[in-house]
Structure 1
Amino acid sequence: MSLTVQITSPHHVEVIDQPAPELRPGQVRVRTSFSGISAGTELTAYRGSNPYLNRSWDPDQRLFVDDTTGVGYPLAGLGYSEVGQVVEVAPDVADDPNLPPVGAQVWGIWGHRSEAVLPAEKLRGCMVPAGLAPIAATFARVGAVALNAVLAADVHLGETVAVFGQGVLGLLTTRLVRLNGGTVVAVDAVPGRLEKALEYGADIVLDARDGTVATQIRKFTDGRGADVAIEISGSYPALHEAIRSVAVNGRVVASGFYQGDGMGLRLGDEFHHNRVGLICSQIGGVPPAVAGRWDQIRLNQTFLRLATDQQIDPAGLITHVIPVREAAAAYDMLDRSPHEALQVVLTF
């Protein structure tokens, strides 16, 4: 049997037993060691605000349409930050030297479940690098999200970059911007996260609660404003303040997963008068300017190489390692007390 985390209904999580899947040709069996909970995307499902729960995505039109025939509760096996060990390989792919063999530690996306059977091709290039702790490899996907946002921001040496949101993604973004040569202004409403932002390379930290972030950023930049802002918290008021904070013809990268109507976002104000460029960064694709050279696997592998080389410390963001059978308590904590946790990792 395989243990699987299931969101049965909003704010209700169970850990259920499911039959172990049969191994078929071209597949590998992976036994999960660690699985990171996304405090952004997964909580939209936990809270019931995810748009996929109320409408369906039409991949041909690339539009959400008003029907409910798509995703619904119960939602079993969410999660996209897994690490595990290959324990079985189908005979027809066992001799492929480019695929992970039995015993290899691999990272990938198979959800919060103790065991998964996957196409072997899905794990090509997904072995945990030598010298990197397996638990750190649970950040491969979230690290790629942060790196994708930095690529979209097109940061140049010496530019001032405001990063709104200093949760896990924001802190990784802060570090990556610093590695890219930017001067980082980190913004959040949780003091502990601002302290962590200083550890991860922020030059200045600003408390969003005082309502003067844009003013302070302009003072810091001699009245000009930030060259670029990255909003990665998914908050509409934060996105609005990011727009207020950039220079004339500045850029704002919207990397958060925004929910519902845009309350707090006033596009007739600074967005209109300062001709601000608004760019979406979403992990389904890389920025068009680099699409010929970058793809998702390169994002993942680049981030893990930086971690292996100790240029970035993703494992330093782990605040809780929790047995999978206590998953309900983990989601409840992330929902009700987000100030108490950064990255929560389930163990199996």
Structure 2
Amino acid sequence: MPHVVQFSGVREVELVETETQPLTAGGVRIATWYSGISAGTELTAYRGTNPYLTSTWDVDRRLFVPGEPTFAYPVAGWGYSEVGEVVEVADDVTDVRIGDVVHGIWGHRSEAVVPAAQVAGRVVPDAVDPVLGTFARVGAIALNGVLAADVRLGEQVAVFGQGVIGLLATRLATLSGARVTAVDTLAVRLAMAEAFGAVHTVDALRPGGAGERIRELTGGGADSAIELSGTDRALHEAIRSVVPEGLVAASGFYQGGAAHLRLGEEFHHNRVRIVASQISGVPVALGGRWNQARLVRTVMDRVFDGSIDAAALLSDVVPVSEVAGVFARLDEGDPNILQAVLRFDAAPERGR
């Protein structure tokens, strides 16, 4: 029987059996090899803090409103960074072939039936370790933040949070010609940021705050900042770090209140601009030319050609049967985890 990762309750995650999906017209069946865990988003389901679990998302009004949650436990099939082999195609499919190894979004499940259009053109090259395909979505999120921050050649950019997405943003901003100052609380991640191109690193816990130090290092402030840690304290320091009329791309998934965000100080007096960056849309000025497919294609071209050393971000590739242990470590804030990937039974030996 196929199986799927399921959040059964707060801090309860398990592998459960599921029904085999019938192949539909225009569809393909994929046997999953690898599925990357998105620590930020998926921990909100694991911890029970995701707003969809506590309120209703009104699609028409674009508001969260009190009432029955949009969904409740058990929640199955989360995950948006999958790689697998096409094992069956519908008769009307011509642009995807059996044997193709593709990357896409179908959740932490051992097999899936998806529209062929969803994975067409997303083939992992033979010379590339297929596990690198799991970086498509997180890379797209990072690039979306870089685009939202309007990064340009020669500008100073501060990137707050050097987890996987933050490190990818550091590398992408560097490739765009920016001089990056990386901010985090962990020395090991700051060292990784230097390897990914950061010219300066700042300990987020330093006395006086990261914003003050960034202004010193950049000779007056960063032109823009990208906040990816998802904490209100970091967002406040990002605001403090930029020049007058500077731009802050708030790309983190912020939970709860914002006790450390003070809008009557640097934000007000420096006329700082804040924009939200979220993967469901690209920056409005780029909407006619960019979309999610282009974000993915742009990032993966650079992963596949080696411009982005995504393999350096892989800290854990574990059997899917060990999913509970991985989430427990992420929940505890294990500093040794960067990108954790679940390996399914269909996956070949690494390097295929």
Question: Which TM-score applies when normalising by structure 2?
Answer: 0.95
Q: Which residue of 1 aligns with 2:97?
A: 101
Q: Deviations over 1:54-74 (max 9, x none)?
A: 111111111112122411111
Q: Distance in 1 between matches of 2:336 and 2:287?
A: 38
**Counterpart of 1:73 in structure 2: which amino acid?**
Y
Q: Which residue of 2 aligns with 1:318?
A: 314
8 Å CA contact retained: 1:132, 1:307: no
Q: Which residue of 1 aligns with 2:232?
A: 236
Q: Which residue of 1 aligns with 2:259?
A: 263
**Alignment of structure 1 residues 184-223 onto 2, 5 Å:** 184-211=180-207, 212-222=209-219
**Counterpart of 1:297 in structure 2: which amino acid?**
A
Three-state SS of the structure 1 residue aligned to 2:340 is: strand
**Alignment of structure 1 residues 6-85 onto 2, 5 Å:** 6-85=6-85
**Counterpart of 1:286 in structure 2: which amino acid?**
V
Q: Deviations over 1:103-132 (max 9, x none)?
A: 000111111010111122222222224533
Q: Root-mean-square deviation (CA), in Å?
A: 1.1
Q: Which residue of 2 aligns with 1:171?
A: 167
Q: Which residue of 1 aligns with 2:299?
A: 303
Q: Deviations over 1:239-267 (max 9, x none)?
A: 00000111111110000010111121111
Q: Which residue of 1 aligns with 2:343?
A: 347
**Alignment of structure 1 residues 76-155 onto 2, 5 Å:** 76-93=76-93, 96=94, 99-155=95-151
8 Å CA contact retained: 1:6, 1:74: yes
Three-state SS of the structure 1 residue aligned to 2:278 is: coil
**Counterpart of 2:84 in structure 1: which amino acid?**
G
Identical counterparts, % of pairs: 55
Query: Cα offset for 1:159?
Result: 0.9
8 Å CA contact retained: 1:226, 1:250: yes
Q: Distance in 2 between matches of 1:58 and 1:129?
A: 41
Q: Which residue of 1 aligns with 2:347?
A: none
8 Å CA contact retained: 1:217, 1:226: yes
**Counterpart of 1:285 in structure 2: which amino acid?**
G
Query: Cα offset for 1:215?
Result: 1.6
Q: Distance in 2 between matches of 1:130 and 1:177?
A: 28
8 Å CA contact retained: 2:52, 2:69: no
Query: Cα offset for 1:337?
Result: 3.0
Task: Establish whether residue 182 from structure 1 lines up as the match of residue 178 from structure 2.
Answer: yes
Three-state SS of the structure 2 residue aligned to 1:68 is: coil
**Counterpart of 1:347 in structure 2: which amino acid?**
R
Q: Distance in 1 between matches of 2:107 and 2:15?
A: 13
How many residue pairs match? The answer is 343
Three-state SS of the structure 2 residue aligned to 1:340 is: coil
Q: Distance in 2 between matches of 1:297 and 1:130?
A: 21
Q: Distance in 1 between matches of 2:126 and 2:133?
A: 11
Q: Distance in 1 between matches of 2:88 and 2:153?
A: 47
8 Å CA contact retained: 2:53, 2:69: no
Q: Which residue of 2 aligns with 1:161?
A: 157
Question: Which TM-score applies when normalising by structure 1?
Answer: 0.96
Q: Distance in 2 between matches of 1:129 and 1:188?
A: 34
Three-state SS of the structure 1 residue aligned to 2:293 is: helix
Q: Distance in 1 between matches of 2:214 and 2:304?
A: 34
**Alignment of structure 1 residues 322-341 onto 2, 5 Å:** 322-341=318-337
8 Å CA contact retained: 2:87, 2:98: yes
Q: Distance in 2 between matches of 1:129 and 1:281?
A: 30
8 Å CA contact retained: 1:129, 1:305: no
Q: Which residue of 1 aligns with 2:350?
A: none
Q: Distance in 2 between matches of 1:66 and 1:51?
A: 10
